[in-house]
Amino acid sequence: MELPPMFFEVHRDMPRQGPGSDDSTLRALRLAGPLPTAPDILDIGCGPGAQTLCLARATGGLVTAVDTHQPFLDDLAARAAEAGLSEKIIPRNQSMCALADPDGAYDVVWSEGAVYFMGFEAGAGAWRRLLRPGGVLGLSEAVWLTDTPPAEARAFWDSEYPAITSVGENLDLLARSGYRVLGHFILPSSDWMDGYYLPIRARLAILRPLHAGNPGAQEVFALEEREIRMYEEHGDSYGYAFFVARRDD
């Protein structure tokens, strides 16, 4: 997916690159049940690493955090240093489609708001081998919350992520892909607004006048704002679900 440079101008220095919160990461971790002491964790599509830091803190484990956008990884490294967690976090520039770790390298494979780059089914399928038997997968993913979404929301997702489906479909998919589901929940709307969209809206207010004479930039800003409004208007018809599942052997 080729994103315009102005997209990264909007999205840089943001706390997160998708809906989420420490509360939701911790809630999902609780669904995982007891983990080994200092578990080995892989955080896929880590972005600037809000959940990476949370995972490292909460588990005392070693978190390998992969992403393909180096500025996000640099952000994460800086945040880890600031939090005194540099020893616990390994940022790695690598595609989620080409993870070369040996089979069974991790106790936990985690991905918040990123598996859609591969597709939920492909990601859950391909990443299973990275888990030790009994290891835990935690994925957050966009889902329909109704069978009859409004046309505007349907059109938006048809263009953004046509594979978006229901919670039930994703639960079935996990079961068919060799996992036992431990639990799932829908992220609260504060995870979308406070965690993600409001910081972006504040950034847009700064960038708009700075790029007043640049129609290409204004188009990027308008698309961002349209996405936020869509959520404000139709966010009861779609959301993000967190799925937690155990590798079932």
Which residue stretch of 24-32, 89-97, 161-169, 224-232 sits at the interface with ligand SAH (rule: CB under 6 A)?
A: 89-97
Name the token pair of 168. 């039930």
* Contact map string, positions 91 to 110, toward ligand SAH, x by CB under 6 A: ----xxx-------------
* 68 near ligand SAH, rule: CB under 6 A: yes
- Helix-then-strand count for the chain, H and E: 10, 8
- Give least dist CB 15 to ligand SAH, A: 8
The distance of closest approach from Cβ of residue 26 to ligand SAH in the complex, given in angstroms and rounded to an integer, is 14
Nearest to 33 by CA among 161, 138, 171, 163: 138
Task: In angstroms, give the least distance from the CB of 19 to ligand SAH.
Answer: 7
Q: Is there binding between residue 46 and ligand SAH (CB under 6 A)?
A: yes
Euclidean distance between CA atoms 185 and 21, whole angstroms: 13
63 is a site residue for ligand SAH (CB under 6 A) = no
Q: Would you count residue 24 as binding ligand SAH (CB under 6 A)? A: no
Among positions 6, 10, 20, 182, the unique one binding ligand SAH when judged by CB under 6 A: 20
Report the distance separating Cα 37 and Cα 225, nearest Å: 43
* Angle subtended by helix axes 198-210 and 215-234, to nearest 10: 160
> Which residue carries 């315009």 as its tokens?
4
- Which backbone phi and psi does 67 adopt, to 5 degrees? -160, 165
Torsion of CA 55, 59, 64, 68, to 10 degrees: -10
24, 29, 32, 45: residue in contact with ligand SAH (rule CB under 6 A): 45
Q: Would you tell me which residues interact with ligand SAH (CB under 6 A)?
A: 16-18, 20, 45-47, 50-51, 66-69, 72, 95-97, 112-114, 117
